[in-house]
Amino acid sequence: MMKRIVVEASASSANLGSGFDVFVIGLNDPRDSIELLALESQESEVNLNYKNGYVIPGIDATAAGAVAKAVTNQFNLKYKIIVTINNRIPIGVGLGSSAASSVATAVAMNRIFDLGLSDEMLLSVAVEGEYAASGARHYDNIAGSLQGGFRIVHQRPLNTVGFPPPLGMTIVVVTPEIKLPNRKTEYARSLLPKQVNLDKMTKNISSATRVVAGFAKGDIAMIGSGLEDSVVEPARKVMIPWFDQVRDSALQVGAAGVFISGAGPSIAAVVDGLKIDPGRVQSAMAKCFADHGISAKGFITTVGGGARIVEEQ
């Protein structure tokens, strides 16, 4: 007997400046998908394939494979599992591509084998893919990809709190084409300070509470004012040439706030699309990079996302 399912999971943008490893937004686009086939077998086996799109063997394949194997082992499933990954999220640029593959695989395994896993259990399973891909068990991108919207992640005990986006909230993402270190996320985490000045910590708490209050009140300007980070971004922006200038160029044409998406190098700007043309913000950011000799690609999307089952049989 064969079982088949196709699941999509969305890109995500983590940290939102002041909310390192705690804040994340799911993005409506782009989205990855996985097709999972399960064939009854005498032994457990997991095979991985790529369909098309962004292909860097060993990154998203590692994530999806780790999740499939974790579920297979945990529930002693005697099946041959074939996972085919269709990457539409750019890989390794701070948009949660490994999280999307991990989440889609976890949702597919849960549904196809009727395991009855809660969201918290799915997060615990999917995080094994993040660990395999990046060397760290962080739940922010996974929560955004699985649940969508704005999520606040609490790790012990594991749970999340969510808010829908304010009306008109638009996200502009610009990614410079620059050379990145191997295992970029691990490297980006190695840049973080081991100790934090009390004044900087206080400032970050103040900023983070403004982000939460902004989502609770539906106030885009308030969200934007809380995106400034005094701890992580100052350490990580060395990876992104001309980051300060690009951020300023977005703010000058009306962006509410700007932050490094995840570990970068993508930069995300929050825009009130009812008042400001997000295309102007994208053009200003790309032009700033170009003025300094760096090509950049970008796209415009909204907050939403979350995983969804596309087909099953």
Distance of CA 153 to the CA centre of its chain: 13
Q: Given 8, 185, 228, 233, which residue is catalytic?
A: 185
Phi, psi of 47 (to 5 degrees): -120, 145
Angle, CA of 8, 54 and 110, to the nearest 5°: 25
Please, are residues 279 and 300 in contact by the beta-carbon 8 Å criterion?
yes
User: Catalytic residue at 302?
Assistant: no
User: Catalytic residue at 45?
Assistant: no
Q: Given 130, 160, 175, 233, which residue is catalytic?
A: 130
Residue 283 tokens, joined: 């053009």
Distance CA 92, CA 283 (A): 23
Instruction: Tell me whether the omega of the peptide bond preceding residue 181 falls within 30 degrees of 0, making it cis.
Output: no
> Between 278-291 and 243-252, two packed helices, what is the crossing angle to 10 degrees?
150
What's the N-to-C CA distance of the chain in angstroms? 11
- Positive or negative, the CA dihedral 159, 219, 149, 171 is negative
Task: Give the residue numbers annotated as catalytic, written as ranges.
Answer: 130, 185
